[in-house]
Amino acid sequence: MKPSSFDYTAPSTVGEAVALLADEEREAKVVAGGQSLIPMLNMRLARPEVLVDITRIPELGRLHVDAEGNLRIGAAVRQARAAADPALRDGWPLLAAAIERIGHPQIRNRGTVCGSLAHHDPAAELPTAALALDARFVITGPRGTRTVTAEDFFVATFSTAVEADELLTEVVFPPLPADHGWAFEELTRRHGDFATVGVAVVLERSPGTGTVRTARVVFSGAAPVPVRLVATENALVGSDAGGQALAAAAGTVLAGLAPSDDIHATAEYRREGAAHLLVRACTTAWERC
Amino acid sequence: MTPSVPTPLAARTPPLAEPSAWHEISLTVNGRPVTAQVESRLLLSDFLRDRLGLTGTHVGCEHGVCGACTVLVDDEPVRTCLILAVQCRGTEIRTVEGLAPGDAPLTSVQQAFHECHGMQCGFCTPGFVMTTTALTEQSDRPDGEQVADALSGHLCRCTGYRNIRRAVCRALDERFGE
């Protein structure tokens, strides 16, 4: 199908973009890569009156590591470019792995990192990775700029803390501890599909003792938002990440996740899949510590 | 000999129904400059096919699943059904027609698809050929996983993947050596 008619504008500053979004006369929508929005326009699931293309705003095209060691990715940075960045691959390999699981190269060449986060499909890779990596979100609107944590950013399916008159300008990933290992695993029907269920794991090893010092475990496809399971993390902390510890951690997944049934899988199938993925991911993460 | 200046590609302009939603864009398509009036909602696939008459870019699913409409925008394979023409101001686009224009010999990728019969009905072929062209333009030979990842962005409804894969391998062998 074809989109219904709308106007298109490509401002050159964040200020202009926000003014366009804040215009109450017309319903405006941000477009960057368009890889989620344009299918919705084509199927007429979305009918905005004006599209605000933010990819011509120079400051949003930056990807860099700041003086404090944070990785900062601007709203216009495409997924393929981010995943190929040496600093990102070196310091945040979980993020690179998550991006490489998004659709196909043809999609990642256009899709943006921030666009996927702001779109927030709960089965998508980047929201899960962002929560696992404790990302912060810089949001600019007519009332100024604010920073939101990953816990507060994802509100519900296709819904985030970004208001209609605001723009997600940047996502910030803090540096990770030196002795950490990571894994990003998904259960998908086919390569490139959204996950039926997925998991991101970050384990930190205690220097000397050979036990897990800290753990972060986040699931995708299990709820309307990425789910961090603190009970699972607690089951891993202090353990040697061996078979017994992983079995106990898998038990907390079965008890702690409450996914819903849908056309792709039953809740029970998702829970079982999540528990298996956790064991596999923790084993990989521990080997990388 | 003086360098030849590419002749501009003529674009058909339909009547302007909603002037506020129209924009003038300039870009390069298959090495030729194009300036056209486009409505905001015009997809790049429809711009190429209906306005420039470049019907080699095929439209299949229109929501980014099948890959038949893949072309190279600034040398990267992308889905033209998920891009608005107006977003392509200033870009350089290559479609399947640009590979071997007129009587030019087939490119090594086209030749490999021909020799390996990397097609059945041929509908998905332009997309596969454009993605494969991008693979051969990388600086290093893509590994098996990268090839599989790139090809997974295309659907062949005749399920002719074996010969397509063979064609891609032959094109890569030709480019990077076996």
The reported pLDDT for the residue numbered B1 is 58
Q: Helix (H) and strand (E) counts for chain A?
A: 12, 14
| Distance, C-alpha B67 to centroid of its chain | 10
The reported pLDDT for the residue numbered A158 is 95
pLDDT band at A35 (very low <50, low <70, confident <90, very high): very high
The reported pLDDT for the residue numbered B86 is 97
**Contact state of A38 with B153 under an 8 Å Cβ cutoff:** no
Smallest Cβ–Cβ distance between B86 and the set A8, A43, A110 belongs to: A8
For testing the chain A interface, which of B16, B72, B82, B124 should be mutated: the one with the most A CBs within 10 Å? B82
pLDDT band at B14 (very low <50, low <70, confident <90, very high): low
- The tokens of B86 are what? 């107006």
Closest C-alpha among B42, B41, B48 to residue B130: B48
Closest C-alpha among A92, A86, A152, A81 to residue A114: A81
The reported pLDDT for the residue numbered B7 is 87
Helices (H), chain A: 14-22, 37-42, 79-84, 86-91, 93-100, 105-108, 113-119, 125-132, 150-153, 230-236, 243-256, 267-288
| Closest-CA distance of chain B to residue A163, Å | 24
pLDDT band at A122 (very low <50, low <70, confident <90, very high): confident
Q: Across residues A133-158, what is the average pLDDT?
A: 97
Smallest Cβ–Cβ distance between A109 and the set B39, B63, B78 belongs to: B78
Q: Across residues A171-191, what is the average pLDDT?
A: 94
The reported pLDDT for the residue numbered A52 is 96
Q: Across residues A94-106, what is the average pLDDT?
A: 97
The reported pLDDT for the residue numbered A1 is 82
**Contact state of A106 with B87 under an 8 Å Cβ cutoff:** no
A82, A99 contact by CB (below 8 A): yes
How far is it, in rounded angstroms, from Cα B178 to Cα B175? Answer: 9
Q: What share of chain A is helix, strand, coil (3-state, %, to 5)?
A: 35, 25, 40
The reported pLDDT for the residue numbered B2 is 67
| Closest-CA distance of chain B to residue A124, Å | 16
Q: Across residues A210-237, what is the average pLDDT?
A: 96
Closest C-alpha among A1, A61, A53, A63 to residue A31: A53
Residue B17 pLDDT greater than 60, yes or no: no
| Closest-CA distance of chain A to residue B4, Å | 32
What is the four-CA torsion angle of A129, A135, A136, A141, rounded to 10 degrees?
-20
Q: Kindly identify which residue of chain B lies nearest to residue A80, measuring between CA atoms.
A: B76
Residues of A in contact with B70 (CB under 8 A): 106
Q: Across residues A141-151, what is the average pLDDT?
A: 97
Residue A3 pLDDT greater than 80, yes or no: yes
B42, B16 contact by CB (below 8 A): no
The reported pLDDT for the residue numbered B163 is 95
The reported pLDDT for the residue numbered B19 is 60
A8 and B CB contact within 8 Å: yes
Task: Give me the percent of chain A exceeding a pLDDT of 70.
Answer: 100
A53 and B CB contact within 8 Å: yes
**Element at A71 (helix H, strand E):** strand A71-74
Closest C-alpha among B8, B61, B7, B114 to residue A106: B61
Residue A277 pLDDT greater than 80, yes or no: yes
Instruction: State the angle between helix axes of B125-136 and B144-151 in degrees (0 to 180), rounded to the nearest 10.
Output: 150
**Contact state of B87 with A34 under an 8 Å Cβ cutoff:** yes
- The tokens of A71 are what? 């990785």
Residues of A in contact with B23 (CB under 8 A): 8
Q: pLDDT digits over B151-176, tens only? A: 999 999 998 899 999 999 999 999 99
| Closest-CA distance of chain A to residue B137, Å | 15
| Closest-CA distance of chain B to residue A37, Å | 8
Task: Give me the percent of chain A exceeding a pLDDT of 90.
Answer: 91
Q: Across residues A184-190, what is the average pLDDT?
A: 93
Q: Kindly identify which residue of chain B lies nearest to residue A33, measuring between CA atoms.
A: B83
Interface of A with B in 171-230 (CB under 8 A): 190-192
Higher pLDDT, B2 or B93: B93
Number of residues written out for chain A: 289
Q: pLDDT digits over B115-141, tens only? A: 999 998 999 999 999 999 999 999 999
A32 and B CB contact within 8 Å: no
How far is it, in rounded angstroms, from Cα B43 to Cα B84? Answer: 4
**Contact state of B18 with A5 under an 8 Å Cβ cutoff:** yes
- Rounded to 5°, the CA angle A239-A245-A248 comes to 135
Give this prediction's pTM.
0.94
| Closest-CA distance of chain A to residue B71, Å | 9
CB within 8 Å of A31: residues ≥ 6 apart:
A37, A38, A51, A52, A53, A54, B84, B87
The mean of the pLDDT values for chain A is: 96
> What pairing do the DSSP bridges indicate for beta strands A136-141 and A159-160?
unpaired
Smallest Cβ–Cβ distance between B150 and the set A7, A51, A105 belongs to: A105
Q: Which residues of chain B are at the A interface, by a Cβ-Cβ cutoff of 8 Å?
A: 18, 20-21, 23, 39-41, 43, 46, 62-64, 67, 70, 73, 76-79, 81-84, 86-87, 89, 131, 148-150, 152-153
Residues of A in contact with B131 (CB under 8 A): 105-106
Residue B15 pLDDT greater than 80, yes or no: no
Residue B16 pLDDT greater than 60, yes or no: no
- The tokens of A93 are what? 């390999």
Residue B13 pLDDT greater than 80, yes or no: no
A109 and B CB contact within 8 Å: yes
Residue B6 pLDDT greater than 90, yes or no: no
Asked if the interface predicted TM-score (ipTM) of this complex is over 0.90, the answer is yes
Higher pLDDT, B143 or B7: B143
Q: pLDDT digits over B21-60, tens only? A: 899 999 999 999 999 999 999 999 999 999 999 999 999 9
Residue A284 pLDDT greater than 90, yes or no: yes
The reported pLDDT for the residue numbered B8 is 87
